[in-house]
Structure 1
Amino acid sequence: MAPNDSTATDGGTKGAAARRKAARYAVPVAVAGVAAATIGLVPALASTGDPDLPKITAQQLIEKIAASDTQQLSGTVRISTDLGLPSFGGLADAFVKGGGPGGGEGGSSADPQTKLTELASGTHTLRIATDGPDRQRLSVLDDAAEYSLIRDGAEVWAYDSGSNQAYHATDDRAGAKRNGSSAPVPDSVPTTPKALAEQFLKAAGPTTSVTVDGTARVAGRDAYKLVVKPKQAGSTVASVTVAVDAKNGVPLKFTLLPSGGGKAVVDAGFTKVDFAKPAASSFTFTPPKGAQVTEADDAKAQQHKSGGPEGLGIFPGVGEPGAGGKGADGAKDTKVIGEGWNAIAEITVPGGAGLPSKASGEVPAEAQQFLDALGDKVTGKFGSGTVFKTRLVNALMTDSGKVYVGAVTPESLVKAADNAS
């Protein structure tokens, strides 16, 4: 973003095929068209008990974020995500066993494309370190195990201590240099406040107000609070607050509140941070004795053999909204309806197929139960379909094979489908 821009095994052949179909029709929940924009020149005023910092405008603060050249840091990040969905940990494990990326015969639980989907729900503690654009380490800490993702130049390693499995790739095949933070993680899985903030600030437009609302202390650092709010009605987002380090412009905390009320949908922030150069040993890795090592090229070959979808982000079977052309797993003719916070991605499912059902034999009973728990039947000029709801992103899949998805209300999706029919 320019400084002055305005500103989501059963081992049998039939079982594997059913799982692949279920993955293809998985609920398409991806944040579509969320933008941050018009700069409100409101000065920051220190609140009682918070740091007394010099006044700054939103324009100046966004320029400070854009100009930040901090490339060395280490610390601990706590991230909580509540989309109103069941935990994705079990779904990720099932996908590994069932033929998704890294899944099926020869798959690896250490594959970042599946392991990091767990960050889409629940509360997690991450330990991170970075030393320039080509050296990063990300560790997800659990009670009894640790998952680490390490990049050192062209070498990328991932290791799951719980299963003693490792995954090795070269260049950017594990998703390196993405999310605006050079972190070796899959698309759509931002793992730092900086990556989250940049997703909301990179596509600014006139549909958003951005102001500075006081100061705060985060991880022992003085920070300004940048508040982003939609001007449009109908968005599921109430506000986004980014705590920005007053000294170096690094986002330290990111909080997204839903318009429906309740606790934050996403709350990610440093609990500890150090801007000194991390130890070189942080970026070295040797597989432990007895570890099962999977090479990225071998996993990709197995993926083609099993017919699993490529390019998995958090949610399989759906391309990037707004990109146009073909999406993942063959989705085509993707276009965007509306703009700003109310933008809706319209995706045409290959073959014009609607949502599969248990009666058709295409969906396992467990997957059908999951879909039924989320979906509400709706009708309109477009015909009939099912709306899948979360606290942030909603999706309408019509029986004629079109998907409408965005960070908007279900009513907005139905209206978009009616207008497009």
Structure 2
Amino acid sequence: MAPYEPEQDTSETGELRVGRRKAARYVVPIAVAGVAAATIGLVPALATSGDPDLPKISAQKLIEKIAASDTQQLSGNVKISTDLGLPSMGGLAGGFAGGGGSGADGGEEGKGSAADPKSKLMELASGTHTLRVAADGQDKQKVSVLEDAAEYSLIHNGDDVWAYDSASNEAYHAKDAGAGKGEAEGKGKDASKDLPKDVPATPKDFAEQALKAVDGTTSVQVDGTAQVAGRDAYRLVVKPKQSGSTIGQITVAVDAETGTPLKFTLTPASGGAAVVDAGFTKVDFGKPSASTFDFTPPKGAKVTEADEHADRGGDFKGKDQVGKEFDKGELNGLRVIGEGWNSIAELKLPGGQGLPTAGSGDVPPDAQKLLDSLGDRVSGKFGTGTVFSTRLINALVTDDGKVYVGAVTKDALVKAANR
């Protein structure tokens, strides 16, 4: 019978906050090669089997164990899937990121590099993927995305950051001038500052994001045990106490020996397959071979330097297609309604108008039909608007140009707009 620890008393909330703040200091340093989405779907066959008999442990002690886990060396495979209920975002993401497309055409002049991490890694925002990961301290990490007939790798080794796309035989290179230096000394000096760094790539990365939500609106408990990638683990369950959130619960499988999160699963309040699931199928906490982090561009590969890429406009500069600078001040009135898991961001669209309509002549009728099919019309004291929904995030765009967005239900958005 797997051990079970009751939900923590709310008097421990302060201690839980301290524990998760400590946990945020001990990330396995693979975030340099993260995924840009925290939305991954459940894969039941994720190397979980059996319920090992482990000593009982409280949620507070387990969070402290995560905080004390300073895992700097590991290697293995991570299986991730995304299930937001949206079409694949690969091509669209590339356009927003300002990087090139994929394939041989991605590196054409003005289109950026097919190996640019900011666009390539966005493809992980949907579907199922297998990653091969390795880390050896702060200055050596590698993540490879394994595909049927190709491989994409992102390697951080000392002051060099390399990305290589075998499908297009293109490489992307940046210098990390802050490697091995203090944060203040290295800040703002490196060409790799625009590369993705603080987005999750491993179960521990995802777990740390979840622990930031631990407060008085959160239930935290240890709910039995599991075995992940052949290792015994405790199951830490984090879920909202409030109603109205689209998040059902977050489950983190924590390695019983090292305190390293091995698997992360986010299930929606609506039930069904999880929105987020990332877990090791194979893991080794030994020191990876030094050659793991070596990289030399293959013969004939096109190499794009990060600074050159930025100079020719490949990096996203906050401009639209005609080069007009985006004025951040136009997104005025940004504020947060509610607290905890039910927080809703409210902002105003530029111009004080809602979405363009066919009636105004701004969009073709066929495009209007497509737009209508993607959202639900709603009304209330606020007037009328359209709610666009995913399995996790919902957004209400009112006809008078206000936007309400959060991991909350459609009804919660309408209530916020009515207030």
Deviations 1:118-173 (A, max 9, x none): 11111110111011112110111111111111111221111111111211112289
Check conservation: 2:37, 2:125, Cα contact below 8 A.
no
Matched, 1:341 2:346: no
Matched, 1:234 2:244: yes
Report the equivalent of 1:26. none
Check conservation: 1:109, 1:115, Cα contact below 8 A.
yes
Report the equivalent of 1:86. 87
Report the equivalent of 2:411. 411
Change (3 A) 1:64 1:362: farther
Q: Cα offset for 1:359? A: 7.2
Report the equivalent of 2:58. 57
Whose radius of gyration is greater, 1 or 2?
2
Provide the C-alpha distance between the structure 2 equivalents of 1:306 and 1:249, rounded to a whole number of angstroms: 38
Provide the C-alpha distance between the structure 2 equivalents of 1:261 and 1:132, rounded to a whole number of angstroms: 39
TM (norm. structure 1) is 0.76
Report the equivalent of 1:215. 225
Provide the C-alpha distance between the structure 2 equivalents of 1:415 and 1:380, rounded to a whole number of angstroms: 8
Report the equivalent of 1:190. 200
Amino acid in the other structure paired with 1:100: G
Deviations 1:200-230 (A, max 9, x none): 1024210010000111110011100001111
Provide the C-alpha distance between the structure 1 equivalents of 2:316 and 2:383, rounded to a whole number of angstroms: 35
Provide the C-alpha distance between the structure 1 equivalents of 2:63 and 2:282, rounded to a whole number of angstroms: 23
Mapping for residues 186-335 of structure 1, pairs under 5 Å:
186=196, 189-303=199-313, 326=328, 331-335=331-335
Report the equivalent of 1:11. none
Mapping for residues 37-116 of structure 1, pairs under 5 Å:
49-93=50-94, 95=95, 100-102=98-100, 105-116=110-121
Check conservation: 1:30, 1:405, Cα contact below 8 A.
no
Provide the C-alpha distance between the structure 2 equivalents of 1:113 and 1:342, rounded to a whole number of angstroms: 30
Q: Cα offset for 1:90? A: 3.3
Provide the C-alpha distance between the structure 1 equivalents of 2:398 and 2:386, rounded to a whole number of angstroms: 6
Deviations 1:279-323 (A, max 9, x none): 11121211122222222222223338986559xxxxxxxx9xxxx
Q: Cα offset for 1:347? A: 2.4
What percent identity do the matched residue pairs reach? Answer: 66
Aligned length, in residue pairs: 357
TM (norm. structure 2) is 0.76
Change (3 A) 1:202 1:364: farther
- Where 1:5 maps in the other structure, the secondary structure is helix
Check conservation: 1:112, 1:186, Cα contact below 8 A.
yes
Matched, 1:161 2:171: no
Q: Cα offset for 1:114? A: 1.1
Provide the C-alpha distance between the structure 2 equivalents of 1:393 and 1:56, rounded to a whole number of angstroms: 33
Change (3 A) 1:304 1:361: farther
Structure number with higher relative contact order (C-alpha < 8 Å, ≥ 6 residues apart)? 1
- Where 2:414 maps in the other structure, the secondary structure is helix
Report the equivalent of 1:14. none
Structure 2 residues without counterparts, runs of 5 or longer:
1-12, 21-35, 39-48, 102-108, 184-192, 321-325
Change (3 A) 1:167 1:63: same
Change (3 A) 1:223 1:299: same
Identify which range, 253-262 or 99-108, moves more after superposition: 99-108
Root-mean-square deviation (CA, aligned residues, Å) is: 3.4
Q: Cα offset for 1:386? A: 1.5
Change (3 A) 1:375 1:2: same
Q: Cα offset for 1:361? A: 7.7
Provide the C-alpha distance between the structure 2 equivalents of 1:366 and 1:155, rounded to a whole number of angstroms: 48
Check conservation: 1:336, 1:343, Cα contact below 8 A.
yes
Q: 2:175 aligns with which of 170, 179, 182?
A: 170
Provide the C-alpha distance between the structure 2 equivalents of 1:172 and 1:332, rounded to a whole number of angstroms: 35
Provide the C-alpha distance between the structure 2 equivalents of 1:84 and 1:109, rounded to a whole number of angstroms: 26
- Where 1:116 maps in the other structure, the secondary structure is helix
Change (3 A) 1:30 1:246: closer
Change (3 A) 1:298 1:400: farther
Check conservation: 1:102, 1:300, Cα contact below 8 A.
no
- Where 2:122 maps in the other structure, the secondary structure is helix
Amino acid in the other structure paired with 1:122: G
Change (3 A) 1:188 1:359: farther
Q: Cα offset for 1:275? A: 0.4
Q: Cα offset for 1:187? A: 5.8
Provide the C-alpha distance between the structure 2 equivalents of 1:255 and 1:388, rounded to a whole number of angstroms: 24
Q: Cα offset for 1:84? A: 0.6
Q: Cα offset for 1:338? A: 0.6
Deviations 1:246-284 (A, max 9, x none): 011100001111111111111110000000111111212
Provide the C-alpha distance between the structure 1 equivalents of 2:316 and 2:136, rounded to a whole number of angstroms: 38
Q: Cα offset for 1:393? A: 0.8
Amino acid in the other structure paired with 2:98: G
Amino acid in the other structure paired with 2:241: K
